[in-house]
Amino acid sequence: MDAFQIIFMSCHKHVSVCDVFFSVTDKRFYRERKSFLCIDGSKIIPFEQVNDDYCDCEDGSDEPGTSACPRGRFYCTNLGFRPHYIPSSRVNDGICDCCDASDEYNSHAHCQNTCWNLGQRERAYVEGQMRTLDEGLRVKQQLIEEGVLLWREKQAQLRELQQVAEDLQIKLEEHRRKKHEADRLKEQTLRALENSTVNSIFQLLDSNKDGSITVDELQAKVALIHDEERVLSEDEAVALLGGGHQIDLTKFQHTLWDTLTKGDGVKMQQLRIVKLSDLLFCLAANWEATNLKKVEEAYDTVNMEISDLRKKLAIDYGPDWEFLFLNGQCYKLKVYEYTYTLCPFNQVTQKNTAGTEVSLGKWGMWVGTQKNQYSQMVYENGEPCWQGGSRSATVTLTCGTETALRSVKEPSKCQYIMDFQTPVACQPVLKQRGIHSEL
C-alpha cells in the first residue's frame, strides 16, 4: 500500500483531516461538528454520515471522497499542477483522472503522480509567454511613442496641405481671371485678323482697285486662292457674286468670302497680314490656358491628398495611436494554394496560384470585447460568394513580439477568420495574472 492509499484510507474514516477531497474555498463546510449542512442548504445530516459511501445530500456535497452521489464532485488537489474537480462517479473507477492519482485511492489502478512534470511543462510555457509579453509590451511602448509622433506628423501634413490648397485656390482664381481676359483679347485679335484677311483677299481680287470685284476679275484671280486648276465659267462667277456682275467689300464679306474659305486649298498663309502684337495676344491666350490647366490639376491633386489623409486620420487607432503604424502596411501568408494578404485598415485579399485575386472584404470596424474593443477587427463587403452574400473576414489580434499574419481559416463558406500577431495587442493585464497560484 503506497502513501496515497494510506492517506486516503485514513481520510475515508476521519473526514475532518480530509483536505484532499475539497478545495480550500470549500474547507469551511467540512469542519468536524455534530451535524453537516448540505452545501445547497437542502438537508442537515449527522456528521458521521459524511463520506460514508451513501448519498444523503441532493447536491452530493456529503460524499466528496466517494462515488456514491451521481451529482457529487471530487476535488483533485494536483499539487504542483492545476487543481480541478471531477464527477464523484469517477472516483475509484479504475481510471486515473487526477494527475496526483488521488481519485483512485481505493482501487487497483496503477496510477502515477505526474503533476510535477505537467506543472513543470506548464510553468515553462507560462514563463515563455511572460517573456513574450514583456518583450511585446516593450516594443508596444516604442510603437506608442512612434504612433504619437506619426500622428502629429500627419496632423502637420494635413495643415500644410490645407495651406497649399488655399494658396492654389487663390492662384486658380487669378489664372481663371487672366484666362478670361486672354480669351477676350484673343477673340478680338482673331476678329481683327479675319477682317485683315478679308481686306487682303478683296484687294487681291480687285485688280483695278476701283472698290468692287467684277466677273472678269473673279475669273482671273480665283484660281490663285482657291484652286490653280479651277477655271470659273461666267455663270459660276455671276453666281458667286450673288447674281450680279460685281460686289463691294461689304457684300464680299458676307457672300463670296464664305465660299472661298471653304476650300481646303485656300492659300491663307500667302494672304494674311498679321501684326506681331496680334500674334502675341493669341500666344498669350494659349499660354494662360496651359497655366490654368496646370494649376487646376495641382489643386485637384492636393484636395485628393487632403481627402485621403482625413480618411486615415478619422480611423480609430487606439487610445495612444498604437495601431497607426499598421496603416499602409500589408502582411502575407501562404496557405496551400492560396496567398492571403491583410492590409490593416484597408482590405483583405486572397490570390490563387493562377494569379486571380479576390477581395475578402474592406475595412469595417473594431468588433472586440467590452473589456478590449481592439482585440478584433472586421472586413466587410468583399466580392460576392457563389452561395449568396459577400465575403468577409474577422481578424483577431494576439500578443507577439513581431507583427505577422499567423493563420487563416474558413469555418463557413466565404467567412474567414484570421490570427494576426502584433506587439500592440499585448495587454499589461495579462501579466498581472501570472502563473496559477497553486502551481
188 pLDDT above the threshold of 50: yes
Host H or E run for residue 410: strand 404-412
Q: Is the pTM of this model over 0.85?
A: no
Residue recorded with cell 502629429 = 152
pLDDT tens, position by position, 191-209? 655 666 677 777 777 788 8
User: Can you read off the three cell numbers belonging to residue 8?
Assistant: 486516503
CB 198 within 8 A of CB 235: no
Residue recorded with cell 475539497 = 22
Would you state the pLDDT for residue 278? 45
> Distance between CA 423 and CA 136 in Å, rounded?
5
Host H or E run for residue 74: strand 73-76
The whole-chain average pLDDT of the chain stands at: 81
pLDDT tens, position by position, 119-150? 999 999 989 989 999 999 999 999 999 989 98
CB 130 within 8 A of CB 431: yes
Long-range Cβ pairs for the range 307-314 (8 Å, 24+): 309/154, 309/157, 309/158, 309/161, 310/158, 312/154, 312/345, 313/151, 313/154, 313/155, 313/158
Measured between alpha carbons, how far is residue 424 from residues 38, 128, 142, 369 in Å?
A: 49, 18, 10, 16
173 pLDDT above the threshold of 60: yes
pLDDT tens, position by position, 223-240? 544 444 556 677 777 777
359 pLDDT above the threshold of 60: yes
153 pLDDT above the threshold of 80: yes
Host H or E run for residue 253: helix 249-254
Q: Which amino acid is it at 119?
A: G
pLDDT tens, position by position, 377-431? 999 999 999 878 899 999 999 999 999 999 999 999 999 999 999 999 998 864 4
Which residue in 64, 21, 53, 301 sits closest to 168, CA to CA?
301
If one compares 331 and 287, the residue with the highest pLDDT of the two is 331
> Distance between CA 433 and CA 14 in Å, rounded?
36
Q: Length of the chain in residues, anyone? A: 439
143-162 burial: b if 16+ Cβ within 10 Å, else e: bbeebeebeeebeeebeebe
Lowest mean pLDDT among 7-16, 258-267, 378-387, 426-435: 7-16
113 pLDDT above the threshold of 70: yes
Domain with CATH 2.70.130.10 in the chain: 324-433
327 pLDDT above the threshold of 80: yes
Domain 324-433 of CATH type 2.40.10.230: no
